[in-house]
Amino acid sequence: MSKADSRKPIVVLVRPQLGENIGKAARAMLNFGLTELRMVSPRDGWPNPDAGPAAAGADIVLEQAQVFESTAEAVADCAHVYATTVRKRGVTKPVYTPEEASREMAGAEGRSAILFGPERSGLETEDVALARAILTVPINPEFGSLNLAQAVILCAYEWSKHEDLVQPTQEDLLPPAPQDELEGLIAHLEGMLEPKGYFLPEPRADATRRTLRGVLTKPGWNHLEVRTLRGVLSSLQRGPKRS
């Protein structure tokens, strides 16, 4: 394992119940660059045929997943263990947000792991006791239920801020068109509207022209867009094409 990979936190699913949820968690992990998945006694065994389709292509995470009999075994090689829970369950430990925990993990020596509990009940007290800290998020106290993949993606996203992930390619934006090109567009349109009586009555003509100018200047057209609009106007100006 490379040094870069050893910095990444391990996702540990403790007694996960549904293969579909395992697959969705794997998908959430890979979205943000995490690949090491460990499971503790999955209810329906492993491999689970429902995990693959739900992973939507995150097969590498599922193929490399390890299964352990106990939570203690799953985190035995980890120096920093965080238990995700909305309740302290009587255990006095430091409490971190995903952002705070990710920052700490990024600068820590030794491996880190994040524990996620079963979908129905969450982590047991014995699981939380293995952790050095509790990881939780501010959440609606009247509805504090996150599904497994949601919980994983919150933590994975915060970790990704410490990674050099490639951002989605953005379309190069062209600069706004020069003023003379915009004036040409306005003049072109006004020239087509004038013979149609658009600026009548005469006392309202200046106000109508200002309003039209405001509509055309607001979008910040680039030169290609101005050329396209001029082409549209020229086509309309020519009238129907004869066959």
CA 100 to chain centre: 19
pLDDT digits (tens, 9 = 90+) for 28-42: 999 999 999 999 999
CA distances to 189, 190, 227, 236 from 231, in Å: 11, 15, 6, 9
The three-point CA angle 98-102-103 to 5° equals: 120
> Could you read off the pLDDT of 148-176 as tens digits, one per residue?
999 999 999 999 988 765 555 555 677 88
Nearest C-alpha neighbor of 34 from the set 137, 158, 150:
158
CB-based contacts of 166, cutoff 8 Å, min separation 6:
none
Express each pLDDT in 7-24 by its tens digit.
899 999 999 999 999 999
- 3-160: which CATH topology? Alpha/beta knot (3.40.1280)
What is the pTM (predicted TM-score) of this model?
0.68
Tell me, what DSSP letter sits at residue 136? -
Give the start-to-end residue ranges of the domains of the chain: 3-160, 179-238
pLDDT at 180 over 80: yes
Compute the distance between CA of residue 134 and CA of residue 108 in angstroms, rounded to an integer. Answer: 17
